[in-house]
Amino acid sequence: MIITRLLAFSAVMTVALATTAQTPRPDLEQLERRAAGLIPTRKQLRYQEIPWVHDLAEAMRTAREEDRPVFLWGYGGRARPDNGLEGC
C-alpha cells in the first residue's frame, strides 16, 4: 500500500515538474536594466560624506569651528572584545 502511494506520488511529481515551464535566464542587458533601478543615487549616498572622528574632543572642536552638530555613534554588547562601553 505504501509503495503504491509512493509510486503514484512520484509519478504525479514527475509529470508536474516536466510540464512546468522553465523561465529563461536573463541576459546581461536585462540584468543591467534591472540593477540600474537598485543603484543608490548620489543624493542618497550623501551620508557617506560625513567626516568621522574617533576623538570626541577633536569632534567638539571641529563642530564649534564649523558651527555644526556632533553626532555620537555608540555600540554596546559583551560579545565584542573592543567594546569600550561594556560597563555602561
Q: What is the pLDDT of residues 41-69, one digit of tens each?
A: 999 999 888 888 888 999 999 999 999 99
34 in any annotated domain: no
Residue 50 belongs to domain spanning: 40-72
The confidence score (pLDDT) of residue 46 equals 92
31 in any annotated domain: no
- The answer to whether the CB of 64 falls within 8 A of the CB of 70 is no
Looking at the 3D structure of the chain, how many domains does it have? 1
- The answer to whether the CB of 75 falls within 8 A of the CB of 85 is yes
53: CB partners within 8 A, 6+ apart: 59, 62
51 in any annotated domain: yes
CA 82/CA 84 separation, integer angstroms: 6
CA 52/CA 43 separation, integer angstroms: 19
The confidence score (pLDDT) of residue 44 equals 92
The confidence score (pLDDT) of residue 77 equals 62
45 in any annotated domain: yes
15 in any annotated domain: no
